[in-house]
Structure formats: structure tokens, C-alpha cells
Amino acid sequence: MLDIKFVRNNPDTVKENIKKKFQDDKLPLVDEVLQLDQQNRDIKQEVEALRADRNKISKQIGACMAQGKKEEAEELKKKVQENADRIEALSSEEKQVEERIKKIMMTIPNIIDSSVPIGKDDSENVEIQKYGEPAIPEFEIPYHTEIMENFNGIDLESAGKVAGNGFYYLMGDIARLHSAVITYARDFMINRGFTYCIPPFMIRSNVVTGVMSFAEMDAMMYKIEGEDLYLIGTSEHSMIGKFIDTMLNENQLPQTLTSYSPCFRKEKGAHGIEERGVYRIHQFEKQEMIVVCKPEESKVWYDKLWQNTVDLFRSLDVPVRTLECCSGDLADLKVKSCDVEAWSPRQKKYFEVGSCSNLGDAQARRLGIRVKGTDGSKYFAHTLNNTVVAPPRMLIAFLENNLQEDGSVRIPEVLQPYMGGMTKIEKK
């Protein structure tokens, strides 16, 4: 969410940013919010003048009473009551105006970084760099659920009976592999200096609206019936929410946390054949990382975060690439974002396995996450987040890239301690 003062002083910049994001339908909102802002300031000014007048009249009433001028005092009391009634009416109007201003400001997109490529949608995202050599084996690689079934490792049919489409049972060595990847990712991030955390898996509505746009909320979140609670779609939500309405001392920054959680998503809309199995599901587990830092440090942390994911995948012998998200593919709160994509030797192309985002002070402004500088100044923190690993998609990349011709799956050396020393898993 932008600062209303910034919008007031830079309306053309805000409008140009909206155009860059191909959201021209939001352009009228800028003029509307400026009009409301002026109205709000006029109301405050009138209320302030009325209160000053009331105080002045109150002193005059005291003087009149002391001089025995009761009739004059009664007339002044009527004037005080008129002022009070007007203040009450203006205060009610002020509340309505401020609510409308807040609603609009929650809709106007954040100012994107100057380095973000301009494009309408994800088809115009830009490849930055590849890491590792993508290989295509001479033997045919089955679909990921077929690989798992060869190890008696997945049961979609039973999950469908129990919970419906978009759920799964992982079994045996595949379930163990899933947990091994999560645990390895946890230790990987701890070794990089991040504090491990297991957060709440449900959050209140004020946290939801603090961390994402209304459109994202509707598309993703499951609401608990009868409660002001939502199931998290990613632990980033509750991790950033941890700092709601806090004043951090500058020497407490940066806050670097890595968290484990299950995640729950509606995943609305139809999806193609390549998104069957465990690619796009309603429930999965994930290791996440978040940073709360000083504004001048957020660009450095952004590069560190996506590099962590690249390094983790490369340690597991999975080729990846980074993809810069274009303006039209950025969520409204984001300043800059990139996807990490893993190589699929079966599809002979890359697919998304993680996303890194710098949100500037947008989330901090919504949630009231402020910092007190050593010089006594106060400002909003910057927040960032990135996927360490989400095993369902990670398992697809892992299985395809480590599948052997005999049907076994090689276990990279770094993962072997988490698999009880196993060097490979074999067909049942």
C-alpha cells in the first residue's frame, strides 16, 4: 500500500505505474482518492476550527456567568451545542471518507522497481540465468505419478474418496523422501544464518489483508466457517504477521526467519494435463524464508534469497533457472519478483518451483511494522519472502532428474543422511 502523501505529490507517477501493470481500469481511482484526500483534510481543518471556537466560547460562558449575564451565557451554550453537533456529523463523515480512502489505497498497486521488464503476463517474463546443465536421458521418463506408483509411493484414488480432487496419500520411500527434502531444506537455511520457526497455520483477516491483495485472497484462501480465521496459503503470511503493530529497534534488523508449514490453497480454475498429480494441489508442505529489514538493504537481501533456492536445488543435482517477472505478472504489493524454475527432462522444459519477492514497505505499511532508527527517526520496514522448497513440485523435479534407466532413483549425497543412509530407492 502506498503512502497517501506519495500519491498526493506524485499522481502522474502512480498513474504511469498502473499503466505499466496494464491495469488501466484503476486509473480513475487515483483522481478519486485525491479528491477524497482533499475532502478529508478539509473536514479535519473544519473540525479543528470548531473545537478551537468551542474552547473560546466556553471561556466566554465562564466570564458571562461570573458577571451574572445568564441570558448571554445560555445563548453561548446553544452555540457550543451547535458546534458539538457539527463536529459529530463531520466525524462520522470523516470516518466514511477514510474507510473509502483505505479501500482504494489497498487496491492501487505498489510502485515497481525500475529494473522490472514491462509485459502483460507471465509469457513475457525474462530469463536471467541458468544453473546446471539440463539433461535429457536416452530412456523415456514416465509422468511423475507413474514414477511414484512404481515405488508404491502415492495413492490418489483413496485420497479422492477421503477429501476429493487435489489431495494425495504419499507412502513408503516417497513419503520419506518428501520429509527428507523438507528437513534438509530446514538445516540448509539454518546453516545460512536463518532462525527456524514453526508458525500458526491459521491467521486472522487483518493479517490476510495485510499480506496480500483482495484478488489473491479470494483466489487462494480457505476461510474457517464461523471464525475470523483463514488457513494459510504459505507460512509467509503468518511469519510477516508475527511483526504486526510492532516498533522494532534498528539494531534488531534484519530479522531472517525460515519456517515450515502445511499450506492450503483453493487453486481456482482449470489446469492443463501437465498439472495433474501433485503439481497443483489444495494441500502441501513447504519450507519458506522471510526477511524484515531496513529499506536500503532490501535489494541486497532480494538477491540473497533467490540465490539460496538456486543453491539448494543445485546441491540436489537439479538444474534450475531464474526468471524475472514482468510488470503484468507482479502481484499488486510487489516491487520486484523472480521465479526459480526447475528443469523437467520429461517435458524438456523448466517449470516453477519457487518465487522470490521484494514487497518494499507495502506489507509493513498495512500491518504497522515500523522501525525506530538510532537517530530517533521512525519508518516502515521492508519485507521479502522466498520459497526454499515445496516438496510436491520439488519431488517432480527430483524424481525426473535422478531417475535411472533401471527405474531406481538416485539419492544425492547431501540427502543420504536424511534417508537413513540410502543411496537409491528401488522399484517395489
Report residue 85: phi and psi, to 5°. Answer: -65, -40
Contacts of the segment 406-411: beta carbons below 8 A, 24+ positions apart: 407/150, 409/147, 409/151
**In which element (H, E) is residue 379 found?**
strand 378-380
Which residue, 310, 322, 321, is CA-closest to 389?
310
Burial of 251 per CB tally in 10 Å (0-12, 13-18, 19+): exposed
265 is in an annotated binding site: yes
Q: Which residues contact 149 (CB under 8 A, 6 or more apart)?
A: none
- Residue 176 sits at the vertex; the CA angle it makes with 170 and 181, to the nearest 5 degrees, is 105
**Residue 355, annotated as binding a ligand:** yes
Name the grid cell of 142.
514416465
**Any known ligand binding at 120?**
no
Q: Is 385 annotated as a binding residue?
A: yes
Alpha carbon separation from 331 to 140, 337, 355, 357 (Å, rounded): 38, 9, 12, 10
Q: Are 189 and 308 in contact (CB under 8 A)?
A: yes
User: Across-strand partners of 126?
Assistant: 324
d(CA 354, CA 245): 29
354 annotated ligand-binding residue: yes
DSSP letters for 18-54: HHHTT-GGGHHHHHHHHHHHHHHHHHHHHHHHHHHHH
Residues forming a β-bridge with 385: 290, 357
Residue 368's identity, in one-letter code, is: G
Q: Is 288 annotated as a binding residue?
A: yes
The label of the residue with cell 445563548 reads 75
C-alpha cell at 310: 538456486
| Residue 234: strand pairing partners | none
353 is in an annotated binding site: yes
Q: From the annotation, which residues make up the binding site for L-serine?
A: 234, 265, 288, 385
Q: From the annotation, which residues make up the binding site?
A: 234, 265-267, 288, 352-355, 385
Q: From the annotation, which residues make up the binding site for ATP?
A: 265-267, 352-355
